[in-house]
């Protein structure tokens, strides 16, 4: 069926040329880099030209009738109430057109939902405002946050124009790495509110709903980096949770998985060791920028009435609140999400130390990974 669509498109080549140019401007649907996205694009173009031709024919007949039967020519209106033949024709033609479009569209929808025979499964979990990716077969989990440069520019603390950053709000610290020419099942769900996982070049979007798991599949033909965004308004940081898919060869993918596992093991071992105040502050600043800055802001003053300040807060300055400070980061409270699964003990220890000794807070408190481990239930 796809070959028929392509033949129709070839016949209409000269007519479609202007739209092809517009596609470069982002006004037309992307053709994408997967078999499904290309079929969706073909279906879209056929439907577009069907309705375009219908519009040309209908409005052409209407304007010709108005001009040809105008009163100045002395034309007299016909004296009849209806024509059964005409009514049958204008009912049958649209019905046939709808059936002609519905059959291939239904087949395409069925194919889009066919997640059988997949070689790899990835679970994408939406958080406010980041993505968690679980590679189920490879026993690997990563968190994908907005890249540090975009986070800094979004604070508008300097005179730098954020738009000078080529991938402002479209880049992440950890992309979703997938092998090419491999059928991959992607499960989508959420941890807090409704999100939506959408990468235009893959040709589909799936809602990520707490308590539900939606699935779809993809097979990326071309290596490259493909960008998307959360497509469901999910709070203040909705525009700050981009999606980046990096497609590589299977050999490169296997190498990346092995390296990432080694990196996580090394990070876990390092997090259990005691660190100096300087080491904790350096690491804590990085953790704060990646996980806390969007709400509590670069200056630690938060957003009045929405996100509480860290600077000068009772939680971050009173010695008797140190334990509560640690447990709140682990388990969350009110609008603050739980970071116990997302951050290891060393990460939490460093960010607690950092926030208790920055933004004008000068408690001198030093928190180690062992202190955090003791607070986990």
pLDDT at residue 142 tops 80: yes
Residues 11 and 108 in one domain: yes
Run of H or E residues at 141: strand 140-144
- Residue 202 buriedness (CB in 10 A; 0-12 / 13-18 / 19+): buried
Ranked by mean pLDDT, the top range of 66-70, 203-207, 330-334 is 203-207
Last residue of a domain, one of 95, 112, 129: 112
CA dist 303 and 272 (Å) reads 33
Residues 82 and 166 in one domain: no
Last residue of a domain, one of 267, 296, 316: 267
Last residue of a domain, one of 267, 283, 318: 267
Average pLDDT score over residue span 284-288: 90
The dihedral sign for the CA sequence 156, 278, 350, 314 = negative
Q: What is the pLDDT of residue 21?
A: 39
pLDDT at residue 6 tops 90: no
Q: What is the pLDDT of residue 252?
A: 96
Ranked by mean pLDDT, the top range of 98-107, 296-305, 338-347, 365-374 is 98-107
Residues 147 and 262 in one domain: yes
Query: What is the average pLDDT score of the chain?
Result: 87
> How many CA atoms does the CB half-sphere of 82 hold within 13 Å?
6
pLDDT at residue 16 tops 50: no
Residues 237 and 133 in one domain: yes
pLDDT at residue 17 tops 50: no
Q: What is the pLDDT of residue 162?
A: 76
Axis-axis angle for helices 250-271, 345-355 (nearest 10)? 60
Confidence of residue 335 (pLDDT cuts 50, 70, 90): confident
Residues 131 and 90 in one domain: no
Q: What is the pLDDT of residue 157?
A: 63
Average pLDDT score over residue span 6-16: 47
Residues 142 and 218 in one domain: yes
Domain at 355, CATH number: 1.10.760.10
Residues 104 and 174 in one domain: no
Domain at 104, CATH number: 1.10.287
pLDDT at residue 94 tops 60: yes
pLDDT at residue 23 tops 50: no
Residues 74 and 132 in one domain: no
CA dist 56 and 52 (Å) reads 6
Confidence of residue 22 (pLDDT cuts 50, 70, 90): very low
CA dist 222 and 106 (Å) reads 27
When computed from its CA atoms, the radius of gyration of the chain, rounded to whole angstroms, is: 28
Domain at 150, CATH number: 2.60.40.420
Q: What is the pLDDT of residue 8?
A: 54
Q: What 8-state DSSP symbol labels residue 196? A: E
Average pLDDT score over residue span 6-21: 46
pLDDT at residue 24 tops 50: no
> How many CA atoms does the CB half-sphere of 258 hold within 13 Å?
6
Residues 107 and 163 in one domain: no
Q: How many domains does the chain have?
A: 3
Q: Tens digit of pLDDT for each residue in 222-241?
A: 999 999 999 999 988 898 89
Q: What percent of the chain has pLDDT over 90?
A: 56
Q: What 8-state DSSP symbol labels residue 232? A: S
Residues 225 and 321 in one domain: no
pLDDT at residue 306 tops 90: no
Residues 298 and 343 in one domain: yes
Average pLDDT score over residue span 240-249: 95
Q: Tens digit of pLDDT for each residue in 270-285?
A: 777 888 999 999 999 9
Average pLDDT score over residue span 32-44: 93
Average pLDDT score over residue span 125-138: 93
Instruction: Residue 256: give the domain boundaries.
Output: 120-267
Residues 70 and 171 in one domain: no
């Amino acid at each position: 069926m796809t070959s028929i669509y392509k033949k129709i498109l070839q016949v209409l080549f000269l007519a479609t040329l202007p739209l092809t140019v517009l596609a470069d401007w982002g006004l037309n649907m992307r053709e994408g880099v997967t078999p499904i996205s290309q079929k969706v694009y073909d279906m879209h173009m056929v439907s577009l030209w069907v309705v375009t031709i219908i519009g040309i024919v209908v409005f052409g007949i209407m304007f010709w009738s108005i001009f040809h039967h105008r009163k100045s020519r002395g034309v007299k209106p016909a004296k009849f109430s209806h024509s059964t033949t005409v009514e049958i024709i204008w009912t049958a033609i649209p019905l046939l057109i709808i059936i002609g479009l519905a059959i291939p569209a239904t087949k395409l929808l069925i194919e889009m939902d066919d997640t059988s025979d997949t070689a790899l499964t990835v679970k994408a979990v939406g958080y406010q405002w980041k993505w968690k990716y679980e590679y189920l077969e490879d026993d690997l989990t990563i968190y994908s946050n907005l890249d540090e440069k975009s986070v800094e520019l979004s604070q508008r603390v300097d005179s730098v124009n954020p738009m000078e950053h080529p991938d402002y709000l479209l880049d992440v610290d950890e992309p979703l790495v997938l092998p090419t020419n491999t059928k991959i099942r992607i499960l989508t769900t959420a941890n807090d509110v409704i999100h939506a996982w959408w990468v235009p070049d893959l040709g589909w979007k799936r809602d990520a709903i707490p308590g539900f798991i939606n699935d779809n599949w993809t097979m990326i033909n071309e290596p490259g980096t493909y960008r998307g965004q959360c497509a469901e308004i999910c709070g203040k940081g909705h525009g700050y949770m981009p999606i980046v898919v990096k497609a590589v060869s299977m050999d490169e993918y296997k190498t990346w998985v092995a390296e990432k596992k080694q990196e996580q093991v090394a990070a876990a071992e390092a997090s259990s060791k005691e660190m100096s105040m300087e080491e904790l502050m350096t690491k804590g600043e990085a953790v704060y920028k990646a996980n806390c800055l969007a709400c509590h802001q670069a200056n630690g003053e938060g957003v009045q009435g929405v996100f509480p300040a860290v600077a000068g807060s009772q939680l971050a300055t009173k010695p008797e609140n140190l334990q509560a400070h640690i447990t709140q980061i682990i388990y969350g409270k009110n609008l603050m999400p739980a970071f116990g699964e997302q951050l290891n003990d060393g990460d939490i220890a460093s960010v607690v130390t950092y926030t208790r000794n920055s933004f004008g807070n000068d408690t001198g408190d030093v928190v180690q990974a062992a202190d955090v481990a003791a607070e986990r239930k």
